[in-house]
A and B are shown apart, each in its own frame.
Chain A
């Protein structure tokens, strides 16, 4: 009895806090998405009008394709890179800590600081372009060309996350029992066969985790385009979060922003489900 009372005291604190900072906003999110409101007065209910408007909004579709485009650059780059990094890490015996830390320290860079850093590093007169000019006689407009800007952001995000994702895959590879490889060796399987028949299938849970992380990251990207490109050139680096931010706090249209937030959440959830369906396999380690 005393135990139950104490338990409810702990849970109660949590539930009260969650009701204020999670439940209340949750209800407001739903109210806003179905009304018209500009921060003052009472929200005016308008049914599904916001959603209808959203799906006819060319900016929404621009952002949608930007996001797909970003994933097409970012996910193959970061997954392949992380995979190679994890493989290399499991092959080396010495300096493993050094390699791990050099790749991982990129991950603890602050979003604002590394955006400032890279916008200067890749600027027209920056060291990367002056190096390219000296060796190849060309400069690349990393952040000012409409098509390149998105790729450049994908590259710097890859720089940040390759070590982190690589270590998740590495942990997955370490969990594979060595005896499997020894048995395969005895059966005369080549290294190549071992890689495709043992490593790739058994690292599946780690690979799924990485893919889910990468998708969530893509839909939540804000700091880099805000700091470096401001969504331009030609809206090619506009992201969902950047648009939610400007819609709610600069164009003063919070109800439309709430609608956008719900659709963004649903899209990212849908992508995660899709990838799980396509990639995830049951793994039995006996």
Chain B
């Protein structure tokens, strides 16, 4: 009787601690959101606003545009860049991964080993020479400068190649009997069977592209083509005292990532446990 009571107290304490910690972990988000909707003078003085206001959002979307800081444009740029990269990575990985796991030919293993070798090198090593390449191609200050280097991902190809290995060859043979072409097999048989891999690759690629900061900062000096992260950083640099509008900008930058995370959280968790294998 006595030990059972002890365990119960311990369990309740654990729940209380976990709740408090969870609230502390969410607190910065709550503060950020509230700061973006309260009057400027209350941002540092009150937690809950006395009145709600959209003036900071109006500032970031209207006034800032007149200050040559076009945030609406930047948001659209970010959406365009992140979606293009994500679609390209998922489809190219699905096709190339098929070539590396389901087709037999000489040299296949060499290509596969080369991909693994590539993944050993951290991306930051290539920043300077990649800039030289983009400059030589005359692509500085274009969307291509941000998009082209991320169109195909070694990691994505690797993920799909691994996932396809678990699919029995019979499925492919059966589809071939029915006269299906390779493209049809990949799009209609393989991709649906590896939906969770596709989601993981898509999710992590999207978050990476949306959040990418250093590379677009280097190649994009044109305010009208900047992704949101870079424009927000430059606005923070020049107008750091406009706390309210900055918070509104930070909310806009964060919301797509949080929503996509919440929608695909199942795959996010799968992706995490996969990193163990």
Query: Are B258 and A21 in contact, with the CB atoms below 8 A?
Result: no
Chain A: CB-nearest residue to B277: A205
Assembly CA distance A4 to B247 (angstroms): 55
Q: Using A28-B132, A159-B28, A265-B121 as known contacts, say yes or no to A245 and B218 having CB atoms under 8 A apart.
A: yes
Assembly CA distance A39 to B140 (angstroms): 14
Interface residues on B, range: 35 or more
Interface residues on A, range: 35 or more
Assembly CA distance A118 to B250 (angstroms): 11
Residues of B contacting A127 in the complex (Cβ-Cβ under 8 angstroms):
31, 44, 47
Residues of B contacting A109 in the complex (Cβ-Cβ under 8 angstroms):
29, 254, 257-258
A231 an interface residue at 8 Å Cβ cutoff? no
Q: Using A98-B22, A127-B31, A244-B127 as known contacts, say yes or no to A7 and B15 having CB atoms under 8 A apart.
A: no
Q: Determine the main DSSP class of B at the interface with A.
A: helix
User: Closest CB-CB distance, A85 to chain B, in whole Å?
Assistant: 8
Residues of B contacting A172 in the complex (Cβ-Cβ under 8 angstroms):
276
Q: Using A17-B152, A108-B258, A163-B25 as known contacts, say yes or no to A95 and B15 having CB atoms under 8 A apart.
A: yes
Report which of A3, A26, A113 forms a contact with B232, defined as CB distance below 8 A.
A113
Q: Using A110-B253, A245-B214 as known contacts, say yes or no to A104 and B268 having CB atoms under 8 A apart.
A: yes
Q: Using A26-B129, A92-B14 as known contacts, say yes or no to A220 and B276 having CB atoms under 8 A apart.
A: no
Assembly CA distance A103 to B261 (angstroms): 13
A8 an interface residue at 8 Å Cβ cutoff? yes
Query: Are B258 and A223 in contact, with the CB atoms below 8 A?
Result: no
Assembly CA distance A95 to B12 (angstroms): 13
Query: Are B32 and A168 in contact, with the CB atoms below 8 A?
Result: no
Query: Are B247 and A21 in contact, with the CB atoms below 8 A?
Result: no
B55 an interface residue at 8 Å Cβ cutoff? no
Chain B: CB-nearest residue to A254: B128
A268 an interface residue at 8 Å Cβ cutoff? yes
Chain A: CB-nearest residue to B130: A25
B99 an interface residue at 8 Å Cβ cutoff? yes
Residues of A within 8 A of B (CB): 3-4, 6-11, 13-15, 17-18, 20-22, 24-29, 32, 39, 88, 91-92, 94-95, 98-106, 108-114, 116-118, 120-121, 125-127, 130, 159, 163-164, 167-168, 171-172, 175, 205-206, 209, 213, 216, 219-220, 222-223, 226-227, 240-241, 244-245, 248-249, 254, 257-258, 261-262, 264-265, 268-269
Chain A to chain B contacts (Cβ below 8 Å), 15 pairs: A10-B99, A11-B96, A13-B96, A21-B130, A95-B18, A109-B258, A112-B229, A113-B229, A114-B28, A117-B32, A118-B28, A168-B273, A171-B273, A245-B127, A258-B129
